[in-house]
Structure 1
Amino acid sequence: MPRVLAGLACMLAVAPVAARPNLPPSHFQIVESVPEATIYGEPGVPRTQPVWLQMIRQASQRIDIAAFYISDQPGSPLKPVLDALAARARAGVPVRILMDQSFFKDSADSVDWLRQVPNITIRVLPVDTLTGGVLHAKYMVVDGRSVFVGSQNWDWRALSQIHEIGARIDNHRFAQTFDAAFDFDWQLAAKPDLPKAAREGVEPPPFAPVTEQDPVLLDAGGNDPLTAFPAFSPPSLMPRWVTAEQPALVRMIEASRHVLRIQVMTLSALRHYGPRGWWPELDTALRDAAARGVQVRIIVADWALHEPMQSYLQSLAALPNITVKFSHLPPSPRGFIPYARVEHAKYAVADDDSVYIGTGNWEWSYFNNTVDASVFVHGAAPAKTLIAIFDRDWNGPYVTTIKTGQHYPPPRTH
């Protein structure tokens, strides 16, 4: 079983991203969004807004964005990002934005403004009609050489009021693979013919895609190179030659031997969306890891406390070697903010050398009928950084250990 799994990669910048204007051809960064007035924020890890701004401002050929929705407000940290996007488009750089149908009305103000900008094209992917899911992915590809993927929605709250984890990968072949996945869905949005797309999806690409079997080698500096590959969901809305996300994640868990750290907003084997029933693949992998002695540590958001998810989490917490905690962030100093102040990251670290960073929560629908994307990396440097981020929360003041037989009230979200 290949341990090439978890693909983030190299050279974790210790300086802010703005201080590195000329990135090397194979570069990797972990990127963190830090809610104001919290203990979050690992020193040396760049923040989301400066990374997005740098990527957009350096674009000279094209920008492709997959966005669940876009939510801005005057004076928010997202406004400079959208302004930068519009400036590059006015300078002649084509911008394509692919968005979800179900939440499109919630993006109306930002979409109307963006559509008035020359060289910006927006399409809506009817995932609900095609598979019963949504376009939940959050990624950006710039000039076919640089990719950002992570939990950060194009939402002002994701930049200053929510804890998020993403990754920037600068590698031509890696970016080509992401762009091919984007193009598949972009064409499907123009003509939602799933049988035709399935036939076209088996055609080999004109380049060597980055896959689990053929990962890209990223320069980590010194003698510690990293291997990385992207993965996508669901299989029905991606080319057949890209790596499917769910089996790759299961294999990463199966390969763990000592400690498995998971931080995700929600986690459940009960199918809440799509056909009702049980999701055995991930659940079995987690329980099997604990049974063979792996210390499984899980942090979920307090948004996961609704039933029956809370009961499911308690069923995990009842097992030896599994500890589950939920995170409850303090309110913002400015008062209550709807749909904010939450742990929204979706990542995992296996032992001290394998990492997964994704865009979907750990439920059946996010891997089987919803559009999501992720990066897997194998290497010590990104694992060390994510372990530090995880342990800051695990040992911090915001978490509560879930115990069987107790009830924990869900928070107000809006």
Structure 2
Amino acid sequence: MVLVASLGHGAWAAAPSAQPTFRIVESVPEATDYGTPGVPRTQAVWLDMIRGAHTRIDVAAFYLADKPGSALQPVLDAVIDRARHGVKVRFLLDRSFMKYSRDSVARLRKLKNIQIRVLPMDALTGGVLHAKYMVVDGREVFVGSANWDWRALTQIHEIGARIDDARFARTFEASFDLDWDAAAHPDMPRLAKRAVRALPFAPVTEADPVALHDASGEALSAFPAFSPPSLIPHDLSAEQPALVRMIHDARHVLRVQVMTLSAIREYGPKGWWTPVDAALRDAAARGVDVRIIVADWALREPMQSYLKSLAVLPHITVKFSRLPPAPQGFIDYARVEHAKYAVADDRRVYIGTGNWGWSYFNTTVDASVFAQGAGPAKTLAGIFDRDWNGPYVTTFEPDRTYAPPRTH
């Protein structure tokens, strides 16, 4: 039987094979109520992808933070093992966070078949390389909120996606290759000329999504999107307009979970970031039930006041999540909701690597996947509702002031 669906301006037709080509992935903080049955965990997915690599592994990561005996150690060990067996590995890291990566980088640089480059986004755009994705053998992609940090595997709530499709992977590679070149030759005029060159293949885009299916055989379509617009191949889809269109298309319920959300520009030129903010308010004005969960890290000012400006509106409810401490005591930069995803009605989802603020879409390297299909929407809505109705969230009351947490 042939299944047909559409997304955006494109259409597709496909018959699912035995293996799923789209899977939602979750990191579950230890000693919490999180964890959706049947949803694979981040460490297991990374290990499976890395151990199955035959030719190459490309990783774009904000930073590398390992410690002996941590959950990231077997992941890095697996990368090293594949490199020793001839797999070519490239790590692309952010310059401004290199102090967190120094020990892991020193270990990896010694090994044959592993290359590391550092992207000076602070000099190029004033932003950072904030993306977290991996491409294996030009056929598989992982993209999501989890940093290459031991805490992201066991102490932070994260959401990602694993996509098995060669054209989807090649599209990610096109973005990675431009950033890899930028790390070696950080010259924006030169990079701008390269970005306008036509790609030698038809990338997966909002206008031309790819047909996939999930573990239950449900059909879906998907496309990747990237930030910032100034540093992606022009043939690829940009994140911000795709996200705004998804919000505009919501008709009943819009679920949003993101660590921080604000229209107040705190980095770069001061002012108001209109597109996503206006889309959220417009959705509420036309009667969409807008439900937003942010982390307690969003309680600092002026972000807390901005969130209250949403919470006072009819049809918008904002909650913040505060995870319980780890059993072993306080852990720096952990025990937080770090996921970045949205579900529109029961049919469209977004899973990204950036928080919702101006700089993440305009000066920072980030990446995401948009998907249309009942399967992904049901899974993500279930994860969201478990949190929304769970023990860790508090509903914003506009007349109250909430204390931000200790982070380090």
Common topology (TM > 0.5): yes
Matched, 1:50 2:50: no
3-state secondary structure, aligned to 2:102 = helix
Counterpart AA for 1:243:
S
Cα shift at 1:243: 0.1
Q: Which has the higher contact order (CA 8 A, sep 6+)?
A: 1
1:365-403 Cα offsets, whole Å, 9 max, x none, are 000000000000000001000011000110000000001
Matched, 1:276 2:270: yes
Matched, 1:333 2:327: yes
Match of 2:150 among 143, 152, 156: 156
What TM-score do you get using the length of structure 1 for normalisation?
0.94
Cα shift at 1:205: 1.0
Matched, 1:401 2:404: no
Asked if the contact 2:8–2:207 (Cα under 8 Å) also holds between the matched residues in 1, the reply is: no
1:239-276 Cα offsets, whole Å, 9 max, x none, are 11100000000000000000000000000000011111
What TM-score do you get using the length of structure 2 for normalisation?
0.96
Matched, 1:104 2:107: no
Matched, 1:230 2:230: no
Asked if the contact 2:214–2:376 (Cα under 8 Å) also holds between the matched residues in 1, the reply is: no
CA RMSD, aligned part only? 1.7
3-state secondary structure, aligned to 1:271 = coil
Tell me how far apart the structure 1 counterparts of residues 216 and 350 of structure 2 sit (CA, whole Å).
23
Matched, 1:324 2:318: yes
Asked if the contact 1:6–1:375 (Cα under 8 Å) also holds between the matched residues in 2, the reply is: no
1:36-60 Cα offsets, whole Å, 9 max, x none, are 0000000000000010000000000
Match of 1:4 among 7, 11, 25: 7
- Equivalences for residues 2-151 of structure 1 within 5 A: 4=7, 24=19, 27-151=21-145
Cα shift at 1:228: 0.2
CA 1:405–1:274 in structure 2 vs 1: closer, same or farther (change >3 Å)? same
Structure 2 runs not aligned, ≥5 long: 11-16
Aligned counterpart, 1:353: 347
Asked if the contact 1:354–1:383 (Cα under 8 Å) also holds between the matched residues in 2, the reply is: yes
Tell me how far apart the structure 1 counterparts of residues 194 and 316 of structure 2 sit (CA, whole Å).
43
Matched, 1:290 2:284: yes
1:277-297 Cα offsets, whole Å, 9 max, x none, are 000100000000000000000
Tell me how far apart the structure 2 counterparts of residues 341 and 329 of structure 1 sit (CA, whole Å).
6
Asked if the contact 1:6–1:378 (Cα under 8 Å) also holds between the matched residues in 2, the reply is: no
Asked if the contact 1:217–1:228 (Cα under 8 Å) also holds between the matched residues in 2, the reply is: yes
Structure 1 runs not aligned, ≥5 long: 8-21
Tell me how far apart the structure 2 counterparts of residues 264 and 223 of structure 1 sit (CA, whole Å).
28
3-state secondary structure, aligned to 2:326 = coil
Counterpart AA for 1:4:
L
Tell me how far apart the structure 1 counterparts of residues 284 and 215 of structure 2 sit (CA, whole Å).
34
Cα shift at 1:6: 12
Tell me how far apart the structure 2 counterparts of residues 93 and 401 of structure 1 sit (CA, whole Å).
49
Cα shift at 1:35: 0.1
Asked if the contact 1:230–1:373 (Cα under 8 Å) also holds between the matched residues in 2, the reply is: yes
Tell me how far apart the structure 2 counterparts of residues 106 and 34 of structure 1 sit (CA, whole Å).
23
Tell me how far apart the structure 1 counterparts of residues 168 and 88 of structure 2 sit (CA, whole Å).
20
3-state secondary structure, aligned to 1:167 = strand
Counterpart AA for 2:373:
G
* More divergent stretch after superposition (214-223 vs 321-330): 214-223
Tell me how far apart the structure 1 counterparts of residues 53 and 316 of structure 2 sit (CA, whole Å).
45
Tell me how far apart the structure 2 counterparts of residues 3 and 328 of structure 1 sit (CA, whole Å).
38
Matched, 1:212 2:215: no
Tell me how far apart the structure 1 counterparts of residues 219 and 404 of structure 2 sit (CA, whole Å).
43
Tell me how far apart the structure 1 counterparts of residues 343 and 230 of structure 2 sit (CA, whole Å).
27
Cα shift at 1:105: 1.8
CA 1:222–1:303 in structure 2 vs 1: closer, same or farther (change >3 Å)? closer
3-state secondary structure, aligned to 2:45 = helix
Aligned counterpart, 1:241: 235
Cα shift at 1:219: 3.1
* More divergent stretch after superposition (350-359 vs 99-108): 99-108
Tell me how far apart the structure 2 counterparts of residues 35 and 106 of structure 1 sit (CA, whole Å).
21
Counterpart AA for 1:304:
A
Matched, 1:165 2:142: no
Asked if the contact 2:9–2:207 (Cα under 8 Å) also holds between the matched residues in 1, the reply is: no
Counterpart AA for 2:72:
L
Matched, 1:258 2:289: no
Asked if the contact 1:5–1:228 (Cα under 8 Å) also holds between the matched residues in 2, the reply is: no
Tell me how far apart the structure 1 counterparts of residues 406 and 312 of structure 2 sit (CA, whole Å).
27
Q: Could you tell me the percent identity over the aligned residues?
A: 71
3-state secondary structure, aligned to 2:387 = helix
3-state secondary structure, aligned to 1:265 = coil
Tell me how far apart the structure 2 counterparts of residues 6 and 145 of structure 1 sit (CA, whole Å).
25
Tell me how far apart the structure 2 counterparts of residues 91 and 273 of structure 1 sit (CA, whole Å).
43
Asked if the contact 2:23–2:215 (Cα under 8 Å) also holds between the matched residues in 1, the reply is: no
Tell me how far apart the structure 1 counterparts of residues 389 and 216 of structure 2 sit (CA, whole Å).
32
Corresponding residue pairs, total: 399
CA 1:6–1:128 in structure 2 vs 1: closer, same or farther (change >3 Å)? farther
Cα shift at 1:358: 0.1
3-state secondary structure, aligned to 1:168 = strand
Counterpart AA for 1:166:
G
Cα shift at 1:206: 1.1
Counterpart AA for 1:68:
F
Tell me how far apart the structure 1 counterparts of residues 213 and 331 of structure 2 sit (CA, whole Å).
41
1:318-350 Cα offsets, whole Å, 9 max, x none, are 000000000000000010001000000000000
Matched, 1:390 2:379: no
Aligned counterpart, 1:190: 184
CA 1:129–1:229 in structure 2 vs 1: closer, same or farther (change >3 Å)? same
1:124-159 Cα offsets, whole Å, 9 max, x none, are 010000000000000000000000000000000000
Aligned counterpart, 1:14: none
Cα shift at 1:5: 5.1
